[in-house]
Amino acid sequence: MAACFPIPKRACALPGIGPYTAAAIAAIAFDRRTMPVDGNIERVVSRLYAVEEPLPQAKPLIQQRAATLLGPSRAGDEESRAGDEESRAGDSAQALMDLGASICTPKKPACVLCPLNEDCLARARGDQETFPRKAPKKSGTLRRGAAFVITRGEELLVRSRPEKGLLGGMTEVPGSDWLAGQDDKAARGQAPALNGVARWHRTEGVVTHVFTHFPLELVVYTAQVAAGTRAPKGMRWVPIATLADEALPNVMRKVIAHGLDT
């Protein structure tokens, strides 16, 4: 990764100033001979040199390769001041950033317009869109649970998730824990205690959703209760017509749509 030494050390101690920002300031503001590597430069370099190692492991190599693309110094000019020998670094960094943003794009790069196309190893192979390589995502263990879509006329029973944790503070319908290996009977047993529910109707199929660390399957149960039925503690009734105003995560939008359509 880019080092902080090209700018005063105290700048690196400022909140929010990490290696990339430090290198960007050094190159663009101070013309120091260093290359900040953002996502655009990362893409250009990985294609230009056909870096096979996947991200994030490839970052040090990409940083090293990117440094070779710095513009020429003026060290050969005897009349130049010592600091001028690094005067093109900022131009090089901004040029590569613009190249990645406008030409060497993630999808359908305009290789015919690229000034580096003759030297690009990925273009020569014809697989430039596959760079930078990325390690396959770990899908995690499947978790299962139940969700309960309960209506009172034109109202839906909801609650807020705990502030800390997954989907913190967002709105959801009552449901069971999401656990690996949980069977339907155990999930169904976590239905909210609600007066007036004569029976739970299990809908056909399941709702699926994939989080960053695990996939989820939810069985959806529905029920209707009479007007005047009070919400259990920690829950509330909201008009179905105003659900768009609720902080519903995508998985809950799927659940509600599935339950209300039955």
pLDDT for 176-207, tens place per residue? 999 999 999 999 999 998 888 878 999 999 99
Q: H helices of the chain, where?
A: 9-12, 19-24, 30, 39-48, 59-67, 89-102, 121-125, 184-188, 250-260
Phi-psi category of residue 126: left, alpha or beta, with phi > 0 → left and psi -120 to 50 → alpha? left
Asked if the domains at 9-130 and 143-260 fall in one CATH topology, the answer is: no
Question: What are the boundaries of each domain within the chain?
Answer: 9-130, 143-260
Mean pLDDT of the chain: 88
Q: Which CATH architecture has domain 143-260?
A: Alpha-Beta Complex (3.90)
130-171: pLDDT as tens digits? 999 998 777 789 999 999 999 999 999 999 999 999 999 999
Alpha-carbon distance 171 to 179, whole Å? 20
Burial class (CB in 10 A: 0-12, 13-18, 19+), 113: exposed
What CATH class has 9-130? mainly alpha
* pLDDT in the model for residue 33: 83
**pTM passes above 0.95:** no
Tens digit of pLDDT for each residue in 43-64?
Answer: 999 999 999 999 999 999 999 9
- pLDDT reported for residue 137: 73
Q: How many helices (H) and strands (E) does the chain have?
A: 9, 7
Residues contacting 120, CB < 8 A, separation 6+: 47, 48, 111, 114, 128
Amino acid at 92: S
Tokens of 82: 């010592």
Per-residue confidence (pLDDT) for residue 11, from 0 to 100: 58
